[in-house]
């Protein structure tokens, strides 16, 4: 029988993002901060997409692998996945694999509330939510259209204890 290793006392426990909502945006009391700015998509392009040359990587690789600490509400992923869907490169057999590590995953309802602020991301978000089931704190692999895959990992601070 396989052994399940988890950094949680109970691997079937679910830990969601604990937030308040200010003007329809999530706010963390734990960090006394907003998760992102009102113009989050522009910010993601400026501090994530462009500096990491994501679009160049789409064009120059048969497989793009992105790792991220902190999934939050998935906006970096949704922006990246939308760019991938719009990219001509994805039609040539290339793949996008996105790995994210997060201590507390968002609920489906929280993601939907955030996405209302960013209607351009709704289509890719809907594909994601079709398979997203945060029913326990364990690894989730989600396959999306046109050779996209996201792997969500729980926080690993004591994963190998």
| pLDDT at residue 155 is higher than 70 | no
pLDDT bracket for residue 149 (50, 70, 90): low
Q: What is the pTM of this model?
A: 0.82
Question: Across-strand partners of 154?
Answer: 102
Tokens of 6: 């988890």
- Delineate the domains of the chain, giving CATH numbers in brackets: 20-154 (3.40.50.150)
pLDDT bracket for residue 143 (50, 70, 90): confident
Strand ranges in 56-139 using DSSP code E only, listed in sequence order: 63-69, 95-102
- The 10s digit of each residue's pLDDT in 103-133 is 778 889 999 999 999 999 999 999 889 888 8
* Distance spanning both ends of the chain, measured CA to CA: 19
Edge to edge, what strands does the sheet with 148-154 contain? Answer: 63-69, 95-102, 148-154, 140-144
Please state, in angstroms and rounded to a whole number, the distance separating the CA atoms of residues 79 and 146: 15
Strand ranges in 33-94 using DSSP code E only, listed in sequence order: 33-34, 63-69
């Amino acid at each position: 029988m396989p052994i399940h290793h988890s950094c949680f006392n109970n691997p079937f426990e679910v830990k969601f993002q604990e937030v308040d909502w200010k003007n329809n945006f999530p706010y963390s009391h734990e960090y006394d901060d907003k998760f992102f700015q009102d113009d989050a998509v522009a910010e993601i392009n400026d501090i994530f997409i462009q500096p990491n040359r994501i679009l160049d990587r789409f064009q120059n690789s048969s497989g793009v692998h992105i790792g991220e600490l902190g999934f939050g509400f998935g906006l970096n992923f949704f922006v990246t996945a939308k760019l991938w869907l719009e990219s001509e490169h994805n039609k040539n057999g290339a793949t996008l694999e996105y790995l994210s590590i997060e201590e507390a995953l968002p609920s489906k309802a929280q993601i939907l509330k955030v996405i209302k602020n960013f209607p351009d991301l709704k289509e890719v978000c809907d594909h994601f939510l079709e398979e997203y089931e945060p029913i326990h704190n364990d690894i989730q692999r989600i396959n999306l259209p046109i050779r996209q895959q996201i792997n969500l990992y729980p926080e690993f601070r004591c994963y190998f204890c």
